[in-house]
Amino acid sequence: MTRMTSMLLRLMLALTLSLGAASAALAGPIYRVAVDTAALAGQGGYVDFLFLGLGSAAPTRAMLSGFAGDFGAASVFEGEAAGSLAGGVTLGNGTGWNEFAQAASFGGLFEFFVSFDAGTVGDGTNLGIALLDQDFNYLGANADIVTFALQPGQADAISVNSGFATVQAVPEPGTALQVLTGLLLMGLVLRHGRR
C-alpha cells in the first residue's frame, strides 16, 4: 500500500470519528415515556402535552412520536401544535400556550417517544405531560405526571410521578453504527500499517 493511500485512510478515519462526535453532540436525547393508567381503569379523558416557554425562551421544538395505547380519535391542538398520532406531533414554544391533547380510554399502558430541538441561548421551556378527565381537570394526580425542564446549555431536568410514569433515555441508532464504522476503519489502518 502506498504512503498516500495510508494517509488517506487515516484522514478518513479522523474525519469519520470527528463527524460522529459532532453529530452526537448536536442531537438531543430521545426519551421513551411509559404511562401506566391501570389505577384509572374504566375512565376516559386525555393524555395532555403542554409546552410553555418564557417570552425570552430559546426557540425550541418538542417532537412526539411512536404513540401506542388505547387512544381515541379526538385531538386538541392549541398554539404551535400540529401533527397526528400516526405521523408524530410537533410543539413549538413561540406562543404563550402550546398544547396537544389526545383522547384516551384509561386502564392500560400508553407509550410514546419525546425529543427536543432546543435553542442554545435564552431562557428555559417546560414540557408537562398530564392525565386529564373529560373536563380537562387533572386525573389521578394533582399535577403533571412528567415534566421536562429545558434550559439552554444544561442537561434536561426530568420530574416523574413514579406512580404513573417512567422515562428512559433511548440511545440513538446512529451511535452504534458510528462506533462500528470507526472500529472498522481503525482496524483497516492498523492492518495496512503492519504491511
Q: Is residue 107 part of a domain?
A: yes
Annotate 95-130 with three-state secondary structure: CCCEEEEEEEECCCEEEEEEEEECCCCCECEEEEEE
Residue percentage of the chain with pLDDT more than 70 = 79
Mean of all residue pLDDT scores within the chain = 86
Q: Is residue 142 part of a domain?
A: yes
Contact predicate 33/165, CB 8 Å: yes
Give the structural domain span for 66: 30-173
Q: pLDDT, tens digit, for every residue of 56-92?
A: 888 899 999 999 999 999 999 999 999 999 999 999 9
Q: Is residue 85 part of a domain?
A: yes
The reported pTM is 0.76
Supply the pLDDT for residue 130: 98
Q: Is residue 151 part of a domain?
A: yes
Q: Is 169 helix (H, G, I), strand (E, B) or coil?
A: strand
What whole-number distance in Å separates Cα of residue 47 and Cα of residue 177? 35
Q: Residue 9: which pLDDT band, with cuts at 50, 70 and 90? A: low
Q: Residue 35: which pLDDT band, with cuts at 50, 70 and 90? A: very high
Q: Is residue 61 part of a domain?
A: yes
Q: Is residue 162 part of a domain?
A: yes
Walk across the sheet containing 30-36 and list its strands.
81-84, 88-92, 61-68, 109-117, 30-36, 165-170
Domain count, the chain: 1
Q: Is residue 82 part of a domain?
A: yes
Q: Is residue 191 part of a domain?
A: no
Residue percentage of the chain with pLDDT more than 90 = 61
